[in-house]
Amino acid sequence: MDFSAISPVSLIVSLMIASTPILLAAIGELVVEKSGVLNLGVEGMMIFGAISGFIAAVTSGSPLIGFIGGAAGGALLSVLFIILTQYLMANQVASGLGLTMMGLGLSALLGYSYAGIKPPASAHLDIAGLSDLPVVGPILFSHDIMIYFSIALVAGVWYFLNRTKAGLILRAVGENHDAAHALGYKVIRVRLLAILFGGACAGLGGAYLSLIRVPQWTEGMTTGAGWIALAIVVFGSWKPWRVLIGAYLFGGVTILQLNLQAVGVNIGAAYLSMTPYIITIIVLVVMSADKKRASINAPAMLGRLFHASK
Amino acid sequence: MNLIKSLLAGAALAVGLAGAATAGEKTKVGFIYIGPTGDFGWTYQHDQGRKAIEAAFGDKVETKFVEGVPESADSERVMTQMALSGTDIIFATSFNYMDHVLNVAKKFPNVKFEHATGYKRADNVSTYSARFYEGRTVIGHIAGKMTKTNTIGYIASYPIPEVVRGINASYLAAKAVNPDVKMKIVWVYTWFDPGKEADAANALIEQGADVIMQHTDSPAAMTIAEEKGIMAFGQASNMSQFGPNAQMTAIIDNWGPYYVERVKAVMDGTWSSTDTWNGIGKGMVGIAPFSDKIPADVQASAGAIRDALAAGTMHSFTGPINKQDGSVWLKDGEVADDGTLAGMNFYVEGIEAELPK
């Protein structure tokens, strides 16, 4: 085996591509959960975003419109979740699972005639001089625009939650909706916006998958990425930068094990294949071992229904 | 998620079949699929076979399918539902349904079962598979001739005999025409995950592969090959729409004729438990038209191999062939027997990686 055959630079580039769909979905779900709502429909919104983004991109010929379409698709599906959980007071876990199943089915139906079509290529950043630099160039200055957008989004979410009044209100709603309501904040409206944002992010993640990472539409192509995103939110203890680390770690281990196999490392492919999931489980166990810290980080109202009359 | 989906699908199916049971004496045919019918690979081709049954018998048959059925106890539930609702013959189209098929078959002796790519049979369980390795010999030959980096990348699913056989067959054919050829193998431990298949293709290209072969179900690797400007081979289905420049040819699974024949046997009451293993000759394995990117002489030699395999004058595994550890497997001129091929659990000499256990 020859470890030097693995180029760390290209490894980092591919891990960012592999991680971005999960990162986008996870950062959206983080905001949703911070507002006290547990939406298990991430997988459904992702796959729906993947097909609606794909259709938008193919029809318009523009990847940008494709991503807008993906975000719109994810948000559209989350409207259903809003109606069910915020107005009809349905159970959030059941509604979220329903959303996933519906998203998978609906996307298969919509995408039926779109299999085998090539989406328009997305522009890559290309700054004269910078993108050609050795090592730094490929890692920092030569990605597709969405990777920069996803990192900016993480920064934006961090700033919003920790440095703005609106972010404080959102967190207050998530920690104690009755108190927030008593103070005159519109609990349902805050959650509605958070869920829409989460849906848009999941849709964006799906569109990234169908427009850049694979570029094609195949039925059921998210294959559980939405569930990983949900785990990454807990993994990152509801903190935006930790979610970024979690997503890159998961993507990184996935990519690393494929590369290790390609150079012929004899650890046993089965074990290598398991590693991303094992590491996720280990971190989740370590995190939840400290009950006090876990309960401080988790939004207190997570998954609880709110009704103003109570 | 698949669990809930398939359970619901199973329930819906039961309702649908129960409603139709009174409609007349139709032969009811059920299929369980590992992936979605729109995967444009393995499952897609089985579904084409299902459509061939409908085309052949029209009103006399009723076909049903459940897609995305995991290779676990869930598959038993789906098959039990099908059997309970009066299905006459059930096709289970993935290797690891094997024991579950036998379990369900034991409970429903009057229902016929057909298990693809397996090797365990019973009075009401047949097995069938295609000699995909013949196709692998053809693409291995082309890959060996065409590679500039002398590195073939292989995306493998699970270390089962069928997959190992494919790796060995393509390696031997490539090695025969290019002594310097190397094969890099990545196991992804899934039949269908476009994201992971694409990542695996990228990792292999990163390691110098300029030809990609796959034993997974989606056209993701073909899309990546097209994007990176390298060569690839369609798997299970003609994937040229995903890689108009990249696809050199494709191994096509053609199940239709077999499915029609077996359903006919059920109708006539002549069905019996059999083991079918057909190749290019009987048309169960098809080779897609060669790309015009392949030079004429290579097209001719690959075509000759295809025809010789079809005619039975050539066998993919003809000695002398040593096992990876250097021990003799086949002596000069000796041809592999089907038993060894069916249970193949070793690499041939020259492959550097270690076979996962």
Of chain A, the end-to-end C-alpha distance in Å amounts to: 65
CB neighbours of A186 closer than 8 A, spacing ≥ 6? Answer: none
Any CB–CB contact under 8 A between B217 and chain A?
Answer: no
Given a contact cutoff of 8 angstroms between Cβ atoms, the answer to whether A229 and A206 are in contact is no
- The pLDDT assigned to A106 comes to 94
Domains of chain A: 3-115+145-297 (1.10.3470)
**What pLDDT was estimated at residue A294?**
61
Domains assigned to chain B: 2-130 (3.40.50.2300), 132-252+285-342 (3.40.50.2300)
What pLDDT does A1 receive? 47
All residues at 6 or more sequence positions from A45 whose CB lies less than 8 Å from its CB, including other chains: A25, A73, A74, A77, A78, A99, A103, A198, A199, A202, A203, A206, A226
Report d(CA A194, CA B355) in Å as an integer.
Answer: 49
Whether A8 shows a pLDDT value over 60: the answer reads yes
Whether residues B195 and A112 touch (CB distance < 8 A) is answered with no
CA distance B194 to chain A (A): 6
For residues A229-237, give the mean pLDDT: 89
pLDDT for the residue B319: 87
**How much of chain A, in percent, has pLDDT values that exceed 90?**
57
**Residue A113, pLDDT score:** 85
> Beta strand B151-156 with B182-187: parallel, antiparallel or unpaired?
parallel
Q: What is the DSSP string of A254-289?
A: HHHHHHHHHTT-TT-HHHHHHHHHHHHHHHHHHHHH
In this predicted structure, what is the pLDDT of residue A123? 74
Q: What pLDDT does residue B8 have?
A: 52
What span, in angstroms and rounded, lies between the C-alpha atoms of A122 and A65? Answer: 11
From CA A267, how far away is CA B260, in angstroms rounded?
A: 45
Q: Compare B85 and A9 and report the one with higher pLDDT.
A: B85
Nearest residue on chain A to B3, judged by CA atoms? Answer: A101
The one-letter code for the residue type at A290 is: D
Q: Please check whether residue A7 touches B, CB under 8 A.
A: yes
Question: Using a CB-CB distance cutoff of 8 angstroms, which residues of chain B are in contact with residue A218?
Answer: 36, 38-40, 194, 218-220
Q: How confident is the model at residue A258 (pLDDT cuts 50, 70, 90)?
A: confident
Per-residue pLDDT tens for A139-190? 787 788 899 999 999 999 999 999 999 999 999 999 999 999 999 999 999 9
Residues of chain A contacting B209 with CB distance shorter than 8 Å:
262
Amino acid at A134: P
Would you give the DSSP letter of residue A113? Answer: G
Q: For residue A285, what pLDDT is reported?
A: 80
CB-CB neighbors (< 8 A) of B152 in chain A: none
The predicted pLDDT at position B6 comes to 53
Nearest alpha-carbon partner for A20 in B199, B229, B224, B212: B199
> pLDDT tens across A103-144, in order?
999 998 998 888 778 888 877 767 767 777 777 777 787 788
The dihedrals phi and psi of B329, each to the nearest 5 degrees, come to -100, -55
* Banded pLDDT at A192 (limits 50, 70, 90): very high
Percent of chain A with pLDDT over 70: 94
Q: Tokens 């693995």 identify what position?
A: A6
Strand B328-330 with B321-322, pairing? antiparallel
Number of residues written out for chain B: 357
Grouping H, G, I as helix, E, B as strand and the rest as coil, residue B253 is strand
The answer to whether A227 faces chain B, any CB pair under 8 Å, is yes
| Local mean pLDDT, 10-residue blocks, chain B (357 residues) | 52 46 74 89 93 94 93 94 95 94 95 93 94 95 96 94 95 96 93 92 93 94 93 93 94 94 94 94 94 95 96 93 93 91 92 85
Cβ atoms of B349 and B321 closer than 8 Å: yes
pLDDT value at position B80? 96
Question: What are A26-73's pLDDT values in tens digits?
Answer: 999 999 999 999 999 999 999 999 999 999 999 999 999 999 999 999
SS3 (DSSP) at A54? helix
What mean pLDDT is reported for chain A? 88
How far apart CA A278 and CA A2 sit, in angstroms, is 25
Per residue in A69-86, pLDDT (tens digit) is 999 999 999 999 999 999
d(CA B273, CA A24): 52
Q: Supply A24's token pair.
A: 């986008």
